């Protein structure tokens, strides 16, 4: 019976393929229309139904409708830009409930954009977008609209904090103006959520909101951040030479895309032998990048790409730009005004827990209104994405259901965020426990779960 169902799902997919997908690089939808810079931030510039159905690995995603919206935003230095966002409407849609889910693109090439990768017919290189879509299923089942932007922007500026945060906030603005197309009410409530690369965009959005989009305070219920990247240098140090080493060239290309002078100084400091090898970082999407650069050393070891080593990241032009893109260097003007939920695995080998612990102390000492930290004592980075999602989703649903977020600060260590976070429903537990670890294991070469215990 199950086999037959799978076969029919497969057939349905074949028929769902109506037009071949055009990669974003060649798709004029992604280009801002003339005079777009005159439109206010968050204005909708173009709309279309997604060219193909959305899929989750090999099954179509059971939703009512989906669109892509191009909207006006601005990059890290205030230059006008246009961003593409995907909007998903579930069958039993609730026009006042929106989840803004920032997926981890983690790469510096526009052809790795989530809006493209979410669809049937997207190349295997974008597979992590579809893997990440599995986190949306509980929300869709409960009738939430999902919005998910290509927050890295037209230049694919991976780890550019302001570009990403601006894009998320303008995406919320655009969604709240999209009622005629999508049915989303202008007074809808919105929660932000992101893990790892997605936490950069979501975290920056929360920090920039008070100054960049003060009017959104009435819509934004809160922001859940997992594997929260607050300090890029710390991630570079811990990943160099290891399984996640590929994040380094992908991120350096991302910043090079946003800042010309970053690119120039980086090139001046590169061992000439490594130029071709390093340039692959602007070509590859996340999964391919991890595979290609696995175990490579960029700042340490004998044959490193940057002979100056980690010092390069600490001073001069490079140091200044990296500082500008770390949440840990923001002053209290950027203290989030919306409730924040942090969840993190103690053994995180990509984002050392010291970073989010430090930000917790910082924000609490500045008097943040509501900040909850759920530390998980058993997991590392990939494991916590799954286990912690049960807690994050529960926290988000509670807010939508009218629960009051905690007052002030609360830091709790639990053995496991899925089993022990209070109020996680059985269905949520079972859903996240049922994730296909084998697929991830396959992509990540079986290394990702060394210390993750689920």
Rounded-to-integer distance, Cα 148 and Cα 11, Å? 27
Q: Is 234 in the site for ligand NAG (CB under 6 A)?
A: yes
Q: Is 75 in the site for ligand NAG (CB under 6 A)?
A: yes
In angstroms, what is the minimal distance from the CB of 213 to ligand NAG?
A: 19
Asked if residues 159 and 144 have their Cβ atoms less than 8 Å apart, the reply is no
Rounded-to-integer distance, Cα 357 and Cα 408, Å? 15
User: Which residues partner with 10 through β-bridges?
Assistant: none
Q: Which range of residues in 74-82, 88-96, 117-125, 176-184 is near ligand NAG by CB under 6 A?
A: 74-82
Work out whether the CA dihedral 78, 82, 84, 85 comes out positive or negative.
Answer: positive
Q: Which range of residues in 56-64, 269-277, 367-375, 413-421 is near ligand NAG by CB under 6 A?
A: 269-277
Rounded-to-integer distance, Cα 355 and Cα 106, Å? 19
Return the structure tokens found at 216. 């959104």
The string of DSSP codes covering 40-75 is PTT-EEEEEE-SS-BEETTEE---SEEEEEEEEEE-
The string of DSSP codes covering 362-420 is HHHHTT-SEEEEEEESS--HHHHHHHHHHHHHHHHHHHHTTPPPPSEEEEEEES-HHHH
Rounded-to-integer distance, Cα 80 and Cα 311, Å? 33
In the complex with ligand NAG, which residue's Cβ is closer, 88 or 326? 326
Q: Is 231 in the site for ligand NAG (CB under 6 A)?
A: yes
Asked if residues 146 and 88 have their Cβ atoms less than 8 Å apart, the reply is yes
Residues touching ligand NAG: how many (CB under 6 A)? 17
Q: Which of 187, 267, 279, 303 binds ligand NAG (CB under 6 A)?
A: 303
Rounded-to-integer distance, Cα 42 and Cα 209, Å? 13
In the complex with ligand NAG, which residue's Cβ is closer, 48 or 329? 329
Active-site residue flag, 381? yes
Positions in 237-256 near ligand NAG (CB under 6 A):
237
Q: Which of 56, 60, 233, 280 binds ligand NAG (CB under 6 A)?
A: 233
Rounded-to-integer distance, Cα 99 and Cα 193, Å? 7
HSE of 216, CA atoms in CB hemisphere, 13 A: 33
Q: Which range of residues in 10-18, 73-81, 132-140, 376-384 is near ligand NAG by CB under 6 A?
A: 73-81
Q: Is 274 in the site for ligand NAG (CB under 6 A)?
A: yes
Return the structure tokens found at 302. 């004998």
In angstroms, what is the minimal distance from the CB of 384 to ligand NAG?
A: 20
Active-site residue flag, 348? yes
In the complex with ligand NAG, which residue's Cβ is closer, 127 or 208? 208
Active-site residue flag, 240? no
Beta strands in 227-334 (DSSP E): none
In angstroms, what is the minimal distance from the CB of 54 to ligand NAG?
A: 26
Return the structure tokens found at 50. 């997604």
In angstroms, what is the minimal distance from the CB of 81 to ligand NAG?
A: 3
Q: Which range of residues in 208-216, 271-279, 341-349, 369-377 is near ligand NAG by CB under 6 A?
A: 271-279
Q: Is 438 in the site for ligand NAG (CB under 6 A)?
A: no
Q: Is 328 in the site for ligand NAG (CB under 6 A)?
A: yes
Q: Is 294 in the site for ligand NAG (CB under 6 A)?
A: no
One character per residue 135-164, x = contact with ligand NAG (rule: CB under 6 A): ------------------xxx---------
Return the structure tokens found at 218. 């009435």
One character per residue 355-394, x = contact with ligand NAG (rule: CB under 6 A): ---x------------------------------------
Asked if residues 107 and 285 have their Cβ atoms less than 8 Å apart, the reply is yes
Catalytic one of 115, 156, 196, 199: 196
Asked if residues 285 and 102 have their Cβ atoms less than 8 Å apart, the reply is no
Catalytic one of 348, 370, 376, 452: 348
In the complex, the residues that contact ligand NAG under the rule CB under 6 A are 75, 79, 81, 153-155, 231, 233-234, 237, 260, 273-274, 277, 303, 328, 358
- Residues carrying an active site annotation: 196, 348, 381
């Amino acid at each position: 019976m199950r086999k037959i169902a799978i076969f029919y799902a497969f057939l349905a997919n074949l028929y769902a393929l109506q037009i071949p997908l055009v990669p974003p690089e060649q798709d004029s939808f992604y280009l801002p229309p003339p005079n777009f810079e005159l439109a206010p931030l968050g204005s909708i510039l173009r709309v279309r139904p997604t060219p193909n159905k959305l899929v989750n690995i090999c099954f179509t995603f059971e939703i009512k409708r989906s669109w892509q919206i191009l909207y006006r935003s601005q990059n890290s230095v205030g230059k006008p830009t246009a961003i593409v966002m995907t909007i998903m409407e579930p069958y039993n849609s609730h026009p006042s409930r929106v989840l803004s889910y920032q997926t981890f693109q983690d790469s510096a090439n526009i052809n790795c954009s989530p809006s493209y990768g979410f669809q049937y017919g997207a190349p295997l290189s974008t597979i992590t977008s579809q893997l990440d879509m599995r986190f949306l299923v509980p929300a869709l089942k409960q009738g939430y609209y999902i919005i998910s932007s290509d927050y890295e922007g037209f230049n694919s500026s991976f780890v550019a904090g302001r570009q990403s945060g601006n894009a998320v906030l303008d995406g919320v603005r655009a969604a709240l103006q999209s009622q005629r197309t999508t049915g989303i009410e202008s007074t809808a409530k919105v929660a932000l959520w992101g893990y790892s690369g997605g936490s950069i965009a979501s975290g920056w959005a929360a920090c920039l909101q008070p100054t960049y989009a003060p009017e959104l305070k009435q819509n934004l219920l809160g922001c859940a951040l997992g594997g929260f990247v607050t300090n890029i240098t710390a991630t570079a140090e811990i990943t160099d030479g290891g399984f996640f080493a590929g994040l380094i060239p992908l991120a350096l290309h991302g910043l090079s895309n946003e800042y010309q002078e970053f690119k120039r100084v980086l090139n001046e400091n590169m061992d000439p032998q490594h130029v071709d090898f390093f340039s692959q970082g602007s070509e590859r999407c996340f999964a391919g990048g991890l595979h290609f650069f696995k175990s490579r050393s960029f700042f340490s070891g004998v044959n490193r790409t940057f002979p100056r080593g980690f010092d390069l990241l600490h001073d001069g032009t490079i140091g200044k730009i990296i500082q500008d893109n770390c949440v840990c260097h923001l002053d209290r003007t950027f203290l989030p005004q919306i409730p924040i939920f942090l969840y993190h695995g103690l053994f995180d080998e990509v984002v050392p827990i010291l970073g989010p612990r430090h930000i917790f102390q910082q924000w609490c000492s500045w008097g943040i209104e509501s900040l909850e930290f759920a530390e998980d004592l058993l997991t590392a980075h990939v494991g916590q994405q799954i286990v912690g999602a049960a807690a994050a989703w529960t926290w988000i649903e509670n807010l939508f259901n009218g629960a009051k977020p905690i007052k002030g600060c609360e830091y709790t260590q639990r053995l496991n965020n899925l089993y022990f976070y209070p109020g996680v429903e059985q269905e949520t537990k079972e859903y996240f426990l049922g994730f296909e670890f084998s697929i991830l294991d396959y992509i990540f070469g079986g290394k990702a779960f060394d210390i993750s215990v689920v």
